[in-house]
Amino acid sequence: MYLAEQSDIKTGTTTVGIIAKDAVVLAADMKATLGNIGYELEAQKIYRITDKIAVTNAGSVGDSLVIIRFLRAKAKVYETENGKPITAKAVATLLSNILNANRYFPYIAQFIIGGIEPKPTIFEVTPYGDMINRDKFATSGSGTPLAMAILDSEYKAGMTKEQAIEVAVHAIDASRKRDIYTGGRSIAVMVITSKGIEELPEKEVEKYLKKKQENSR
């Protein structure tokens, strides 16, 4: 989904979420745009909500950060009151309700929520609160058509964590090459497993990019 125009300023990005056999892989580009300006080349677009739930954002950074702070606070309150961590489905439902309640003055933001409960789970939540449970993968942002083409052709059920990372990185890289609003210094990747969340260092991401380039020759 192309997000969006606000005060005649276009913003864009590409984020993806992939379900692997025992993990959820979230990936995003790192370019923040302001109109025709590449405003930031190391922008954060994947955020931890809990130790086993993370979210990607596409659209307005201000709108996204307000909501992410709210979700983090609610997750902590939930765990304190109930004595157990909140689930990804509960976070997605809460987010869906927030966005739908503000549909006449909407937050210009779209989210992919990934978590383990206990199986790998992905939810996509649109700016007007539509909540979609994805059983394979999800993508958002201006580079969606390009990323979707890679995901459709390369996704396989039961992929290992490493295979899912490779596909996710390839999908973002394809968008970086053709979508002018997608880019940045590198590609951000977070991997969620039953043990917690791992953020891949830039050098490791570059290894996956190099491997994909070698395999395509």
Looking at residue 216, its pLDDT comes to 66
183 CB-near residues (< 8 Å, 6+ apart)? 29, 30, 31, 38, 41, 176
Active-site annotation, residues: 13
3-state secondary structure 75-86: HHHHHHHHCCCC
Length of the chain as a residue count: 217
**How far apart, in whole angstroms, are the C-alpha atoms of residue 157 and residue 142?**
26
Q: What is residue 11's predicted lDDT score, i.e. its pLDDT?
A: 53
pLDDT < 50 stretches in the chain: 1-10
**Architecture category of domain 5-215 in CATH:** 4-Layer Sandwich (3.60)
Beta strands 14-19; 24-29: pairing state: antiparallel
38-59 pLDDT, tens digit per residue, is 778 889 999 999 999 999 999 8
**Taking the domains of the chain in order of start, what are their residue ranges?**
5-215
